[in-house]
Amino acid sequence: MRSFFSLASLVLLTAAASAGEKPNVVVLYADDAGYADFGFQPNCTEEMRNLTPRIDSIARDGARFTNAYMSGCVCSPSRAGLMTGRYQQRFGFDDNLPPGRQDGLELTETFGVKRLQSLGYRTGLIGKWHLGYPSAYHPNKRGFDHFYGLLQGSRPYYPIEKPSEHRVIQKNGEPTPESGYVTDRLGAAACRFIEERDEEPFYLFVSFTAPHGPLQPKEADAARIAHIKNDRRRKYAGLVVSLDDNVGRILDCLEEQGLTDDTLVLFTNDNGGQTQTGAVNTPLRGRKGQLHEGGIRVPWAVRWPGRAPAGSVVEEPVIALDLLPTVVEAAGAAVDPAWKLDGRSFLSTMTGGDDSAPLRPLYWRHHGGNGPRAMRLGQWKLYDERSPGAAAALYDLDADISESSDLAAGHPDRVASMIAALDEWESEMEEPRWGPNEPGRRNGAR
């Protein structure tokens, strides 16, 4: 890990730590955005560089993470891992939850917000759910005190004449009228949650659908994106600028309520960018749905005044599974080993403290025991396609972030040890409870 921070930042950090108060937490979660499509990213494309000033301000005023990952390469598995702090393959959640399924994220799994409720947090989810449709799987039953959003994975941005029960935007189980632009509705709902808070600290997860398709930008944003000539890319950029506007709306709301200094704000994305709808992942190889870096490495920035030094850069690899233990530690509590979390807190590295965290492996799998899998250990990334005739590939990510040079032939022992570690990890996982495109197995099948 490398962090850059000033003596003044260290003084503020020490003062904040001594206060001992639980911070509010706001997670701003984009959907299918490109790795190179935010101005705070060093490889941001020129056409997008000035389109995300409010999102960029989070990194400017806090820490940018260069090696941040989701535990899944598509929408709902990545959410399942983040929400529980456990590899989602442990409970058969390898693939996107199909529409209409009569199950979802296993009911025996405990959501992190349940842990936070026990620490005195009021919890809210705004936006996309995609973790279960029946009543027992509803956000309000899994630990969210307040839910305003949709149960399914996507929907049009403009009003639907006859929305299905899983695409309609609901408030705590009750459908709301179809009106307005969805990204604006979600930004406004996030602000209402903040404004209506009580005295207790809050955890707010804002799960935007933008810039996931369909590509329906607001006409009012046309002038800001007119310089982008490619039609698909321009429409995608329109979704991004609306996302940025509403991130700014939420940041302004925190400021107006006098909560900026008391709130940890995290911005990230649910998986790698979907290049098929206009995202750009330069310099990463691959896209959403793949286990190359372009499918799992994500933009990640954290702002916490007085704790995360402004302009700092964190190079230690982190994964979405780390969010829950980090928030628990920030609240002054300890993770119970009985929770069996797979993540670890990055609080110390984020705040410019101890950067000697022990090396640990990170694992990925998609489509079950016959699908592709991957592992990262330090600088090394093993990618195992598991398709006929395809041998496992080895990449040095420090020297080759684009995964362009397969070094497996020169490191047979390293490949063998990483394959063995992947095998051992996978032996603890469950086979998917549903396939990627159809209902598949019944709940409880292994």
Encode 172-228 in three state secondary structure: CCEECCCCCCHHHHHHHHHHHHHHCCCCCCEEEEEECCCCCCCCCCCHHHHHHHCCC
Q: Are strands 63-65 and 300-303 parallel, antiparallel or unpaired?
A: antiparallel
The active-site residue out of 73, 130, 253, 292 is 130
What is the layout of strands, in order, in the sheet containing 24-30? 174-175, 170-171, 146-150, 122-128, 202-207, 24-30, 263-269, 300-303, 63-65, 312-314
ω into 211 cis (within 30 of 0): yes
Distance CA 217, CA 130 (A): 23
Strand partners for 383: 374, 393
Task: Choose among 341, 434, 427: nearest CA to 92.
Answer: 434
Distance CA 119, CA 328 (A): 8
Task: Choose among 318, 245, 320: nearest CA to 73.
Answer: 320
The active-site residue out of 75, 138, 191, 366 is 75
Distance CA 153, CA 99 (A): 8
Whether 130 is catalytic is yes
Residue whose structure tokens are 């690899």: 317
CA dist list (Å): 391 to 294, 385, 397? 20, 7, 19
Task: Fill in the amino acid letter for 93.
Answer: F
Q: Which two tokens stand for residue 108?
A: 């025996």
Residues contacting 124, CB < 8 A, separation 6+: 144, 145, 146, 147, 148, 190, 193, 202, 203, 204, 205
Distance CA 113, CA 254 (A): 21
Task: Choose among 336, 311, 394: nearest CA to 2.
Answer: 311
Length of the chain: 446
DSSP one-letter string for 79-147: HHHHHHTS-GGGGT--SPPPTT-S-BS-TTSPPHHHHHHHTT-EEEEEEE--SB-SGGGSGGGTT-SEE
Task: Choose among 320, 217, 232: nearest CA to 270.
Answer: 320
The phi, psi pair for 170, rounded to 5°, reads -115, 165
Cite the active site residues: 75, 130
